[in-house]
Amino acid sequence: MPIFNRRRSALGAATVLAVSLAVTGCGLGGSTASGPEGNGAPKPQLDCDVPAQNLSADKVDMSKPTGEIRFATQGLKKDFGSFFDPLIKKFEDAHPGTKINWEDTPSADDFDSRMVTDARTCVMADVINVPSSTIMALTQANLLVDFDNKIPGIGDRFIPGIWKDAGLGPNKHHTALPWYWAPSVVTYNKDLMKEAGLDPAKPPATVQELQAQSLNAAENSGGKIQSMWGNTAWSFVDQWLNSGVKVMNDDKTEFTFADDAGAQEWLSNMAKLYAAGAIPKDSVTGKPDPGQAYNEGGLIFGSPNPSFLRNVKKNAPDLYPKTGVSATLRDPKIGANFNGQFISVAVSTKNLPLAAAWADYITSAESELGWVKDPNVVIFPTVTSVLDDPFYTQQDVNDPLGLARSVAAESAKSGVANIENFIISGKIQKVILQGIQLGTTGQKTPQDALKDAQTEVNKLFKASQS
């Protein structure tokens, strides 16, 4: 699964596009639209002709789609062919004369750059499944269809906070439909908490509480009990945003995290935890996955991914019933950070009615509910009504996985699509992470580590806009 426990890939050439925000008078929405009718989409620079209807502000007629389109996903067919193949057939049967050709490629570090190249050369699939960073790259290059023009009102089905902030196109229009995600949870070893002098009935609810409990565990055990994983590649963006750290300025033209007291406190605490033995020393620059260490009984807190519990159940069955679960770490005034997958339509498609109809169908409540119930996956919908389905509200909360589904679904209702998720990728993410590692291990003071990282990423960001 492309979103699970994978923060962001190296973007190569696409990094420049992904962070090249058109931060003009109209903000993150990009430049004012100037399509064929004067209020449609900007004309993209492509190696092929774009049908006029794809750029106009006119609604697309999806009532009688015909013909064929290509549908491209990343890393789904191997595990979920048994779900999507029947879903595609059901759609085709309901619309005689249509054919959805499903293409799937493994996850790859150059995925974003390949997508941009494919889009510019008009070989990208008609409907695509892409992560946040790719959406930014393709949108800023005007390579995706405007859903607000083509399917007005489609956003009403989605979690309000996610839809509201995911408008990256001209005039803050939407070029992508939020599809699925995995809200973070807290997983923890209840027996190890007791041994460390902590109360397993009171797991941390905020990032600050997580760090405080981890420090207490180390101090109570004389540094023998470790709590947290050191590589924060999968967690630092979530933890900062869910704690209210001002990662960027208001108009998203500059990174400001080094000036934020919350970020300074967070990294100072990481350094204290490292010095106290609460963090495995070799984990700071090691792999980002704490799963093995947790399954071996070496950590109090495991992966924040709800799907991780399937791994515990399979590979550490004795530990599974001793694993506690609680909701994502966040300030209660702040919505849960959405970092998920999207569905978009290529602006170069030659069959917009069918492409739009398929994008609409695959992100519908019916389709999302069917997939979240698949026993092979632990994902969460972006359609609000699905979160109130008995599948989530009537889970067995005495089972760790059932509890994870319940608490994550409740958190998902507050989901918000922070712009930072679309920007912190590739080189920018790497530079910030290196600064965190230097500050955690004491090679730099936390303040200097954050300041130096901020200076470097702002240079990268400014260069990408010039």
Are 175 and 190 contained in the same domain?
no
Are 115 and 175 contained in the same domain?
yes
Are 370 and 268 contained in the same domain?
no
pLDDT of 31 over the 60 cut: no
Residues 6+ apart with CB under 8 A from 449: 267, 435, 436, 438, 439, 443
Are 346 and 254 contained in the same domain?
no
- Spatial separation of the C-alpha atoms in residues 352 and 54, rounded to whole Å: 7
- Spatial separation of the C-alpha atoms in residues 200 and 194, rounded to whole Å: 7
Query: Quick one: average pLDDT of 60-76?
Result: 96
Shortest CA distance to 39 belongs to which of 168, 165, 171?
A: 171
Shortest CA distance to 236 belongs to which of 417, 452, 16, 424?
A: 424
Query: Does the residue 419 lie in any domain?
Result: no
Domain membership of residue 73 as a residue range: 14-182+340-412
pLDDT of 11 over the 80 cut: no
Top-confidence residue, 193 or 110 = 193
Q: Provide the token pair at 111.
A: 């995925």
pLDDT 10s digits, 333-376: 999 999 999 999 999 999 999 999 999 999 999 999 999 999 98
Query: Does the residue 1 lie in any domain?
Result: no
Are 25 and 161 contained in the same domain?
yes
Query: Does the residue 259 lie in any domain?
Result: yes
pLDDT of residue 106: 80
Query: Quick one: average pLDDT of 24-29?
Result: 33
Query: Does the residue 239 lie in any domain?
Result: yes
Are 201 and 319 contained in the same domain?
yes
465: number of Cβ within 10 Å: 12
| Three-state DSSP class for residue 211 | helix
Query: Quick one: average pLDDT of 403-423?
Result: 95
Q: Which residue has the tokens 């960073």?
A: 133
Query: Quick one: average pLDDT of 298-310?
Result: 96
Query: Does the residue 407 lie in any domain?
Result: yes
Query: Quick one: average pLDDT of 410-415?
Result: 96
Would you say 195 and 225 are in contact if contact means Cβ atoms under 8 Å apart? Answer: yes
Query: Quick one: average pLDDT of 408-416?
Result: 96
Query: Quick one: average pLDDT of 183-204?
Result: 97
CA atoms within 13 A on the CB side of 65: 24
Top-confidence residue, 18 or 319 = 319
Query: Does the residue 285 lie in any domain?
Result: yes
Are 197 and 173 contained in the same domain?
no
The total number of structural domains in the chain stands at 2
Q: Provide the token pair at 157.
A: 């089905």
Are 118 and 265 contained in the same domain?
no
Query: Quick one: average pLDDT of 276-297?
Result: 96
pLDDT of residue 466: 63
pLDDT of 14 over the 70 cut: no
pLDDT 10s digits, 212-265: 999 999 999 999 999 999 999 999 999 999 999 999 999 999 999 999 999 999
Query: Quick one: average pLDDT of 440-464?
Result: 96
- What does the mean pLDDT of the chain come to? 90
Query: Does the residue 299 lie in any domain?
Result: yes
C-beta pairs of 35-40 under 8 Å, 24+ apart in sequence: 40/146, 40/149
- Spatial separation of the C-alpha atoms in residues 396 and 391, rounded to whole Å: 10
pLDDT of residue 9: 36
16, 19, 22, 23 alpha-carbon torsion, rounded to 10°: -140
Are 316 and 452 contained in the same domain?
yes
CATH of residue 199: 3.40.190.10
pLDDT of 148 over the 70 cut: yes
Q: Provide the token pair at 324.
A: 């506690």
Query: Quick one: average pLDDT of 417-427?
Result: 90
- Spatial separation of the C-alpha atoms in residues 352 and 456, rounded to whole Å: 42
Are 166 and 196 contained in the same domain?
no
Counting DSSP H helices and E strands in the chain, the numbers are 20, 8
pLDDT of 22 over the 50 cut: no
| Three-state DSSP class for residue 93 | helix
Shortest CA distance to 175 belongs to which of 155, 193, 191, 157?
A: 155
Are 430 and 362 contained in the same domain?
no
Query: Does the residue 9 lie in any domain?
Result: no
Residues in the chain: 466
pTM score, two decimals?
Answer: 0.90
Are 42 and 173 contained in the same domain?
yes
